[in-house]
Amino acid sequence: MKDPFVLQVNDLHIHFTADGHSVPVVRGLSYTLATGRVLAVVGESGSGKTVHALSLLGLLPPAAHVEKGEILYKGKNLLTMPENQLRTIRGRKISMIFQDPSASLNPVLTIGEQLIETLRAHRPLPPKEARKEAVQLLEQVGITQADKRLDEYPFQFSGGMCQRVMIAMALALSPDILIADEPTTALDVTIQAQIIQLIKQLQGKNGMAVIFITHNLALASQVADEVLVMYGGLCMEQAPVDELFNHPKHPYTRGLLASLVSVDAERPDRLPAIGGTPPVAGECGCGCPFAPRCSYAEAKCSHQLPPLLAQVNHRVRCWPEELP
């Protein structure tokens, strides 16, 4: 029987080495991703979202390492794969759109040179054929006069156009999995909506799986089939998008949703917020990392990590008696 999952992350632990100490930043993360599905990974800065994504491509910084776990792409463990074999998957089968498009593009090379290099790194295309495909890719992401703009430099493009170029590069080789890491962070609201619509359109057309990393729950609700909420390097809750938004169970998720303000609602005097600050990596202790900010916390929450309870289509890390 064919495996329905294109990606399986099993008990992933990632540590950083700092001042001779090993600091955990991702702790036992597990999930599955099926072809054609969109998983949104949400949480505050420092929760481990981006670090986990970099590990999927073998792009962790030198100070970081995978302590244990598995990352299975179509049943093959990427963590034990030789670098030369991993290089054939990185970019070709699993692609990534990074947060800041202006920092991801080489300022001294034209857009065409960078896009064509991506194509020819994995396929033996003649220069003319590669250029033709590059033009088609720019047109696919909505860049007009693509043949002319291929010879321009990144500084001649707006932030939104640079992000469209990054999407074109990520999709150049028709990957099975697209990782979009905060792809709209540096863009204004109007351009954000355009980029989200473009990703949804291309995802539907190409049938690829998408990991959409964001701190913005409103964006997650627009693109995701399922949402995974991270905090302190842990999965705190995971459920289908409608289930999570309509029936959130973890106090952290409920706090995040309560902080959203509807455009139709009367303007409040004060915006709702979760008190306190997110934990510093390595200083979470052995209890629940959200306990210091949780109004439902009991004594055991500070020294005992709650289990990740599996319910119907829903996982939540909390004590059963504290769940709604």
pLDDT at 53: 96
Segment 22-44, tens digit of pLDDT: 999 999 999 999 999 999 999 98
Of 268, 293, 312, the one marking the end of a domain is: 268
Q: What is the C-alpha separation between 75 and 97, in angstroms, rounded?
A: 24
For residues 62 and 121, give the distance between their C-alpha atoms in angstroms, rounded to a whole number: 24
In a domain, 193, yes or no: yes
Shared domain for 136 and 17, answered yes or no, is no
DSSP 49-116: HHHHHHHHTT---TTEEEEEEEEEETTEEGGGS-HHHHHHHBTTTEEEE-S-HHHHS-TTS-HHHHHH
| pLDDT of 196 strictly over 60 | yes
Same domain for 68 and 212, yes or no, is yes
Among 92-96, 132-136, 240-244, 282-286, where is mean pLDDT lowest? 282-286
Residues 89 and 120 in one domain: no
Q: What is the pLDDT of residue 275?
A: 87
Question: Tens of pLDDT along 173-188?
Answer: 889 999 999 988 777 8
DSSP code string of 142-182 = T-SSHHHHTTS-GGGS-HHHHHHHHHHHHHTT--SEEEEES
What's residue 280's pLDDT? 85
Owning domain of residue 137: 108-172
What's the pLDDT band for 1 if we cut at 50, 70, 90? Answer: very low
Amino acid type, 268: P
* Domain co-membership, 150 together with 22: no
**Among 85-94, 95-104, 110-119, 284-293, whose mean pLDDT is lowest?**
95-104
pTM: 0.92
Whether residue 242 is found in the same domain as residue 119: no
Domain boundary among 124, 141, 172: 172
Higher pLDDT pick, 265 / 244: 244
Predicted pLDDT at 287? 92
Say whether both 196 and 79 belong to one domain: yes
> Does the pLDDT at position 230 exceed 90?
yes
Pairing of β 38-42 and β 308-311? unpaired
- Is the separation of the CB atoms in 306 and 236 below 8 Å? no
| Lowest-pLDDT range of 68-82, 157-171, 232-246 | 157-171
Sheet with 5-18, edge to edge strand ranges: 21-34, 5-18, 64-73, 76-77
Q: Which of 244, 268, 292 finishes a domain?
A: 268
301 part of a folded domain: no
Same domain, 181 and 44: yes
pLDDT at position 102 over 80: no
Residue 289 lies inside a defined structural domain of this protein:
no
Whole-number average pLDDT of the chain: 90
46 and 192, same domain (yes or no): yes
Instruction: Count the domains in the chain.
Output: 2
* Higher pLDDT pick, 268 / 287: 287
Within a domain: 305? no
What is the Cα–Cα distance from 23 to 13, expressed in whole angstroms?
10
Looking at the structure, do residues 186 and 262 belong to the same domain, yes or no? yes
Is 39 contained in some domain? yes
CA torsion, ordered 17, 18, 23, 26, to nearest 10 deg: -60
Residue 52, in any domain of the structure:
yes
Q: What percent of the chain has pLDDT over 90?
A: 62
In a domain, 252, yes or no: yes
pLDDT beyond 80 at 268: no
Q: Which helix (H) or strand (E) holds 198?
A: helix 189-206
Same domain? 252 vs 190: yes
Is 160 within a domain?
A: yes
- CATH classification at residue 75: 3.40.50.300
Q: Are 89 and 29 in the same domain?
A: yes
Residue 115 and residue 262 in one domain: no
Q: What is the DSSP letter of 227?
A: E
Q: Are 320 and 296 in contact (CB under 8 A)?
A: no
